[in-house]
Structure 1
């Protein structure tokens, strides 16, 4: 039983995350830019601003800019789905005289073919109807309608979506799998829920879900990390970090850096300035590559560490819980992570430090079970 009208209305609403105002405005801005370019190209090609074509592109822009993580919004779905719908729509317009029958058949066949080719894109239904009901301007184009404006505008809108979403830090198009190093499950997945488990569950689903396997894996892994964090003591980075850090100076010459690598038997070292400000990291393979190109006249100016180091460094704060570091060591195979406070290098946490803490947690867990 519903206790109030509000409870009844909530059952009609989707379980959907409402983005902050800034993100909602950016989604609208992306759609504005994409549709502006798309309609401008249509005007250049067809000599007029065609409201009949803005409709399907407007529907596509909702997916591409508001929910770019949706499987229905991926480039394959956008381009292939619209193209198939355009072909079917034009064919039905040419061979089925009755307009009602023509657009009904066009949408039905388009849905079947899109689902068969894994290119389901809801706005493509509007493309199929447009091909039938677009009037003389569309019918005069015939199958050219598939190439322009359908394919042309679809590709244009897709590239705008790619650049715009990536500029905002969003991954578009979505990656096929979480583990890019190998087809095997990641180390975390091996001891929790594996991709094969998700695939087995999805195979028994009788309806399509508007979420990719990749996103399911990512959500499950992050939820598992939160659950694990509740199950262990909250060590912070300053509790386990090594304060006496072996590092390189940015002004060191590369030959002396190699000597230090030999001395400490490490594969990479942080790079600091005279004030211990962290400015980068240098790996042994960077030095090896420097030796390989030493004979190249263009590389003769490279004499110091700062000239071949990597300035982009993942760092943590002393007060951060060590659970934040696990994905870097497990999923991305980091050897160490610098601990920085006010841009100064104050410590370092190695993979061995993490293993020691986890070993202690395992010992405590086994003692509690005895």
Structure 2
């Protein structure tokens, strides 16, 4: 039986929702992230003005910093993952647009036409040079209506102060984001590849949606999205994985791992490791140090290119904790390179191992218990 909440509680909730002081308007935006962005803008703009003044002197007729840099700071510090906030977009977009503005102001004498033409051509040129940056429109406009100081600077204006301001701001942004533990410049998601060097698409892309589906969906919206296609692909696949975790997150690594783990010590030879792999018909061996802690793994792939009398070619191990959701291993065990995930305790000692076979058996059992609709409902054909 579902009990409806009291009417006054519902009314109270509705009233509070209307007076929230902060409500994220972008995906991933939180109050903490916005406060970090405010701090970054404060530091970035102040230091940009100080550094520009140091290099350009205190000429009263030469602006130390121009207004479009404030708009650039909003993108750089508030939405650093946006394609519009990347270094080339900021430096190239502002500088190129300022050149466009100066050129238009030189050739077109009618101010009403010049201001519109400058912004329109700036959008075109930024698009052609893959440096689209909204404040670039303001930079182009400033070059036309900036007054006597801009007119005297002429074609130096796009470089000093526009280019100098933009470059300093980006450098400060890189340092600030690194110190704040954030990634900048943004690195786009790497598309999955077939590691077996055949014409087949990667296993994870053979079912479910593909890049053509993403392109078709974007085209159907008739909108320009402020996210790259690669990042959108990664986001959608993460959504699929979260849906699967929600449905099958009760199974942990401890539930399905093999506990009698065949291991090898770091001092063993390649021949000894190969013999163990063949004897137990497995593909991956955890490699332990003298104290029994995990150093990495070795498999037939590494041993095939190694002299059997040589030392072990140890590779970094894919690891998990016993309480981690077992379904969460799907991306790693289907990428075509990892054949097993080593389960370790708090002291980095091996307590189990999960192979592709272990995970496949788990998924097959879930399917037989719930049926295709129970496992795939809301998830599509993502496995």
TM range (shorter): 0.7 to 0.9
TM-score (norm 1): 0.78
Cα distance in 1, alignment partners of residues 335 and 172 from structure 2: 31
1:276, distance to aligned residue in structure 2 (A): 2.8
Q: Does 1:281 align with 2:297?
A: yes
1:134-213 equivalences in 2 (<5 Å): 134-162=146-174, 164-165=176-177, 168-170=181-183, 172-175=185-188, 178-179=191-192, 186-213=202-229
**Which secondary structure state, in structure 2, belongs to the residue aligned with residue 309 of structure 1?**
coil
1:106-117 equivalences in 2 (<5 Å): 106-117=118-129
Q: Does 1:42 align with 2:52?
A: yes
Cα distance in 1, alignment partners of residues 373 and 69 from structure 2: 61
**Which secondary structure state, in structure 1, belongs to the residue aligned with residue 343 of structure 2?**
strand
1:284-303 equivalences in 2 (<5 Å): 284=300, 286=302, 291=307
How many residues get paired? 353
Q: C-alpha root-mean-square deviation of aligned residues, in Å?
A: 3.8
1:264, distance to aligned residue in structure 2 (A): 4.8
Given that 2:211 and 2:233 are in contact with CA atoms closer than 8 Å, whether structure 1 keeps it comes out as yes
Cα distance in 2, alignment partners of residues 286 and 33 from structure 1: 49
| Unmatched 5+ stretches in structure 1 | 295-302
| Unmatched 5+ stretches in structure 2 | 1-10, 375-383
| Deviation larger for 283-292 or 245-254 | 283-292
Give the aligned partner of residue 7 of structure 2. Answer: none
1:223, distance to aligned residue in structure 2 (A): 1.7
Given that 2:248 and 2:327 are in contact with CA atoms closer than 8 Å, whether structure 1 keeps it comes out as no
Taking a change above 3 Å as real, the CA distance of residues 5 and 126 of structure 1, as seen in their structure-2 partners, is farther
Taking a change above 3 Å as real, the CA distance of residues 27 and 288 of structure 1, as seen in their structure-2 partners, is farther
1:1-370 equivalences in 2 (<5 Å): 15-16=25-26, 17-21=28-32, 23-32=33-42, 34-35=44-45, 38-48=48-58, 53-97=65-109, 99=111, 101-162=113-174, 164-165=176-177, 168-170=181-183, 172-175=185-188, 178-179=191-192, 186-232=202-248, 234-252=250-268, 256-257=272-273, 260-261=276-277, 263-264=279-280, 266-284=282-300, 286=302, 291=307, 305=312, 309-310=314-315, 312-331=316-335, 333-342=337-346, 343-366=348-371
1:254, distance to aligned residue in structure 2 (A): 5.5
Taking a change above 3 Å as real, the CA distance of residues 288 and 166 of structure 1, as seen in their structure-2 partners, is farther
Cα distance in 1, alignment partners of residues 100 and 282 from structure 2: 62
Given that 2:253 and 2:321 are in contact with CA atoms closer than 8 Å, whether structure 1 keeps it comes out as yes
Cα distance in 1, alignment partners of residues 326 and 68 from structure 2: 49
Cα distance in 2, alignment partners of residues 368 and 91 from structure 1: 63
1:173, distance to aligned residue in structure 2 (A): 2.9
Cα distance in 2, alignment partners of residues 144 and 241 from structure 1: 66
1:87, distance to aligned residue in structure 2 (A): 1.3
TM-score (norm 2): 0.76
Cα distance in 2, alignment partners of residues 367 and 202 from structure 1: 29
**Which secondary structure state, in structure 2, belongs to the residue aligned with residue 88 of structure 1?**
helix
1:142, distance to aligned residue in structure 2 (A): 2.0
Given that 1:78 and 1:121 are in contact with CA atoms closer than 8 Å, whether structure 2 keeps it comes out as yes
1:137, distance to aligned residue in structure 2 (A): 3.7
